[in-house]
Amino acid sequence: MNPYALEISYDGGAFGGWQSQSDGRGVQDAMERALGALGERVRVCGAGRTDAGVHARAQVASLALEKKWEPRRLALALNAHLPAGVSVLRAAETTAAFHARRSAVCREYRYFIRNASACCPHIKPYVRLLPGKYDWSAAAEAAKALEGTHDFRAFCRKEDCPENTVRSVSRARLTRRGNLVVFRIEGNAFLTNMIRIAVGNLIEIAKGKRDAAWLTGLLSGELDRTASAGTTSPSGLFFWRVRYPFRLEWQP
């Protein structure tokens, strides 16, 4: 078998999430159908799951193929069989030891907010539109509390909450440039809906309805999902990139 890595970008609004779905609407399903058209019946493993409606700028997937492909030709061949809304940006030869999810050391997500009453229609599916006045400076200061190792029980969808809800966040920053607000978060792993709930909490702080002390209290692990704010829309969330302890030799 010949192992490869793929860097994949997709519009989450066109799919039911990364993971394979019973109705075949997962990005993973689309990738495996395209590989089937090339004569390869294999499973594709992604670096991280994304919910329905969540986008990916640079998802990474690993797979092993019977045929040996020149990476650039593999990417071109897959793109010829993929549906609109998903593209293979580049490919790389790897080793049998490489696993897109288990080999990863850090994943970065970004959430985009347009603080305005309207926006250009071609970007509307990729931002959370929020009209009105918000104190984004207060939210930015509060976001720093997410960094470090905490019990994120209050940041996980209740029905999918695992026994161990401790996660480590290496970076959490909220910035504003004009009407565009961007939340960046990096960590080794995330709980179901964790980032969208975190953004919902920061929006409550920006509204002045909650304060930084409340957010710090949620990180104690003593509170459950009912203590947090609502889960914000998936439209503004992107799986931005994944990092490995070695360099992948990508071929565009």
| 89-114 per-position pLDDT tens digit | 999 999 999 999 999 999 999 999 99
| Predicted pLDDT at 39 | 96
What 8-state DSSP symbol labels residue 195? Answer: H
Hey, what are 17's tokens?
Answer: 């999430």
| CB 7, CB 79: distance < 8 Å | no
Q: Is the pLDDT of residue 222 over 90?
A: no
Tell me the mean pLDDT in the region 115-142.
Answer: 96
Q: What is the CATH number of domain 2-103?
A: 3.30.70.580
Fold exhibited by the domain 108-240 = Alpha-Beta Plaits (3.30.70)
Q: What is the mean pLDDT of the chain?
A: 96
Hey, what are 29's tokens?
Answer: 């399903």
On the CB side of 94, CA atoms within 13 Å amount to: 24
| Predicted pLDDT at 221 | 85
What percentage of the chain has pLDDT greater than the value 70?
Answer: 100
Instruction: Quote the CA–CA distance of 34 and 153 in Å, as a whole number.
Output: 38
| Predicted pLDDT at 194 | 97
Tell me the mean pLDDT in the region 61-77.
Answer: 97
| Predicted pLDDT at 122 | 93
Domain segments of the chain: what residues? 2-103, 108-240
| Predicted pLDDT at 252 | 81
Burial of 248 (0-12, 13-18, 19+ CB in 10 A): middle
Tell me the mean pLDDT in the region 196-221.
Answer: 96
Q: Is the pLDDT of residue 223 over 90?
A: no
Positions marked catalytic: 51
* Other C-beta atoms lying within 10 Å of the C-beta of residue 29: 19
